[in-house]
Amino acid sequence: MNEEENPKIKKPGLLSLLKPYRTLILLLIILALIANAFTLWLPLLLAQGIDGYYNGENLRQIYTRFAWASAGIFLFTYLQNIAQTYASEIVARDLRNRLSDKISNQSFASVQSITPAKLLTNLTADIDAIKNFVAFAVAQIVISLFLIVGGSYLLISIDWRLGLTVLSILPLIGLAFALIFGKVKTLFTKAREAIDWLNKVINESIIGAALIRVVNSHESEHNKFDDANTDAKNVGISILKLFAALIPIITFLAQFATLIILVLGGRFIIQGSLTLGEFASFNSYVAILIFPVLILGFISNIIAQAQASYERIVDVFTAPEPAGDGTITTPLNGSIQIENVDLLFGEKAALKNVSLKISPGTRVAIIGPTAAGKSQLLNLLVGLLPPTAGHIRYDHHDLSEYKKEELYKQVGLVFQDSIMFNVTLRENIAFNTEVREEDLQKAIRTAELSSYIARLPQGINTIVSERGQSLSGGQKQRIMLARALAINPKILLLDDFTARVDNHTEQKILKNIAENYPDLTLVSVTQKLAAVESYDQIIVLTEGEVIASGKHQELITTSPEYIQIFNSQQSTETL
């Protein structure tokens, strides 16, 4: 049940975030209070100085106190700024680490449901909003309240009639803040959602830049970006309109307070009930009083942004935990059992009642048309997606019973999409830090990468460009294969990994795998029947269902669907 279904559910406030940092926040508040206590002292010194001058008193002591007060303001404001900057960076760092840990521990399916674009905004803009709250809002809230309470007391102590008259204006300013703040919070949530969408569009445009140029879809992509950008702009303007209405209200009320002081204060001076020094200090206190009220207006902006951002981050923190890790750590034998497996995405079935048995050390191919569910089946086998129904078993043990860390040391997966990192080629292949040098070299030879690496200026220590842009599609695929083989797996899952590799290289790689990893259980999703005709089992998958299974010679005589695929590929090769 989500928050919209149950409005009684309330998300934690920002102050709950600060509990682990109580000592640091308390130090920040103490420094702020001391600095502003000196600020409140200055108008009193000003009044004493003015009245003392007209009364012919020695002002040396007043000057000394004024100097000490100014030095105190400088010193403690400086320390306050250091403390609030340090606190904000610590909170942001810890929150970012917590969020990163939470994301890394989530299942693949959970990350996809939250969406990477939203998670990116959570880790950047949302945490920056919270950092600004700690850096500026926490201290300023305390300072503003302290100045308002202290200034109000001192105003009344100077002249209660004039003080109460001026203070009667403050509730009107507070009411304006409350009205604006209530509306703007919802808009800040919408603003973050607009940024999520904008990040998604930008990310897709950058990654697909080459395709956009080739198919000449600049206009449609520009329109998508323009729509997302315009949406973000419109929300931003709506927020600015609300705050733009607040400023004139506060300015008018502040000027009205000044008018009251001039009219009534001047009269009280003439009557002799108020000295010129007290009048000057009264004006100073009103300025001190109005300033924190204005600051609270701007701080309300920061608070609204931070609260909206924190609620979005809490959504990630409160996401369901993945299923508990298993306990089995024994080495795999290599057998796989798929029992009555269904996989649903919403109401759409990607896999329907799939059952298969794969013996240890055998080679199995999964073929079928596009959107048949082949890649989803591999994702199930490696545990990236949980089956909606049925069971995935390794060596007759349910996949969930295995300790994931130990399981992934024995199961290699080559994704259809190449994933490269901006590190050395060695680090891209030996991605698992426990990879041994001999296993690394064997994987490189098996993937037919030796000659390519030998031609590189720095060999295996050559830095791979961002997202592997300097590599061809075939090179990326072979690096992905070497990465999977470097852990010396017992089971290897290949998702159409030779789609960008020529037939000659493909045959050599498959031969290398058979020779260098003779006991390996191989499951390969492929479109090329010529490469898998000798496999122990070929599975034909269509619309999420297994419609045929057997060896090549058996299927060529019993499965019309297999025959159709085989004949179409034979015709293509002939052409």
pTM of the complete model: 0.62
How far is residue 477 CA from its own chain's centroid?
Answer: 29
Percent of the residues in the chain that have a pLDDT greater than 90, as a whole number: 9
Q: What are phi and psi of 389, to 5 degrees?
A: -150, 160
Question: Confidence band (pLDDT; 50, 70, 90) for 442?
Answer: very high
Q: Which residue has the tokens 């070299």?
A: 441
Higher-confidence position of 7 and 555: 555
pLDDT tens-digit profile of 361-379?
999 999 888 778 888 888 8
Q: Which amino acid is at 420?
A: M
Q: Which residue has the tokens 């045929």?
A: 548
Question: Taking 80 as the threshold, does the pLDDT of residue 214 lie above it?
Answer: no
Taking the C-alpha atoms of residue 126 and residue 133, their distance in angstroms, rounded to an integer, is 11
* 220-234, 341-355, 449-463: range with lowest mean pLDDT: 220-234
Taking the C-alpha atoms of residue 231 and residue 219, their distance in angstroms, rounded to an integer, is 18
CB atoms within 10 A of CB 217: 14
What integer is the mean pLDDT of 36-50? 77
How wide is the angle at C-alpha 468 spanned by C-alphas 467 and 469, nearest 5°? 95
Question: Confidence band (pLDDT; 50, 70, 90) for 492?
Answer: very high
What integer is the mean pLDDT of 47-51? 70
Helices 276-317 & 60-105 angle (0-180, nearest 10): 10
Using DSSP's 3-state secondary structure scheme, residue 411 falls into: strand
What integer is the mean pLDDT of 328-351? 87
Q: Counting Cβ atoms within 10 Å, is residue 406 exposed (0-12), middle (13-18) or buried (19+)?
A: middle
Three-state SS for 211-262 is HHHHCCCHHHHHHHHHHHHHHHHHHHHHHHHHHHHHHHHHHHHHHHHHHHHH
Question: Confidence band (pLDDT; 50, 70, 90) for 340?
Answer: very high
Question: Taking 60 as the threshold, does the pLDDT of residue 2 lie above it?
Answer: no
pLDDT for position 3: 43
Question: Taking 70 as the threshold, does the pLDDT of residue 503 lie above it?
Answer: yes
Second CATH level (architecture) for the domain 14-317? Up-down Bundle (1.20)
For strands 537-542 and 491-495, give the pairing: unpaired
Taking the C-alpha atoms of residue 145 and residue 321, their distance in angstroms, rounded to an integer, is 41
Q: Which amino acid is at 21?
A: Y
Question: Confidence band (pLDDT; 50, 70, 90) for 521?
Answer: very high
Question: Taking 80 as the threshold, does the pLDDT of residue 195 lie above it?
Answer: no
Question: Taking 70 as the threshold, does the pLDDT of residue 256 lie above it?
Answer: yes
How wide is the angle at C-alpha 140 spanned by C-alphas 137 and 146, nearest 5°? 145
pLDDT for position 207: 57
pLDDT for position 520: 92
Q: Counting Cβ atoms within 10 Å, is residue 388 exposed (0-12), middle (13-18) or buried (19+)?
A: middle
Using DSSP's 3-state secondary structure scheme, residue 350 falls into: strand
**Nearest to 270, CA basis, from 257, 279, 283:** 279
Taking the C-alpha atoms of residue 31 and residue 21, their distance in angstroms, rounded to an integer, is 16
pLDDT tens-digit profile of 55-95?
666 667 777 777 888 888 899 989 988 998 899 999 999 99
Taking the C-alpha atoms of residue 446 and residue 438, their distance in angstroms, rounded to an integer, is 12
Q: Counting Cβ atoms within 10 Å, is residue 469 exposed (0-12), middle (13-18) or buried (19+)?
A: exposed
Q: Which residues pair with 351 in a beta bridge?
A: 343
Please, which contacts does 203-210 make with residues 24 or more away whose CB atoms are closer than 8 Å? 203/116, 203/117, 203/120, 207/467
pLDDT for position 466: 62
Query: 497: which 2 tokens?
Result: 């990994």
pLDDT for position 182: 65
Question: Taking 50 as the threshold, does the pLDDT of residue 198 lie above it?
Answer: yes
Question: Taking 50 as the threshold, does the pLDDT of residue 255 lie above it?
Answer: yes
Q: What Cα–Cα distance (Å) separates residue 181 from each residue in 14, 242, 298, 494, 572? A: 15, 9, 10, 55, 67
Q: Which residues pair with 33 in a beta bridge?
A: none
pLDDT for position 337: 92
pLDDT for position 575: 46
Question: Confidence band (pLDDT; 50, 70, 90) for 543?
Answer: confident
Q: Which residue has the tokens 């209660």?
A: 160
pLDDT tens-digit profile of 274-294?
777 777 777 777 777 777 777
* 15-29, 218-232, 543-557: range with lowest mean pLDDT: 218-232
The domain locations on the chain are 14-317, 336-574
Helices 437-446 & 473-485 angle (0-180, nearest 10): 140
**Nearest to 448, CA basis, from 384, 515, 382, 495:** 515
pLDDT for position 323: 67
**Nearest to 196, CA basis, from 114, 128, 118, 129:** 118
Domains 14-317 and 336-574 share a fold: no
Assign a CATH topology to domain 336-574.
Answer: Rossmann fold (3.40.50)
What integer is the mean pLDDT of 408-427? 82
What integer is the mean pLDDT of 390-399? 90
pLDDT for position 7: 43
pLDDT for position 8: 44
Using DSSP's 3-state secondary structure scheme, residue 308 falls into: helix
pLDDT for position 199: 72
Average pLDDT of the chain to the nearest whole number: 80
pLDDT for position 522: 92
**CB-CB contact of 483 with 513 (8 Å):** no
- The DSSP-derived string for 549-562 is EE-HHHHHHH-HHH
What integer is the mean pLDDT of 208-227? 63
Based on C-alpha coordinates, what's the Rg of the chain?
Answer: 35
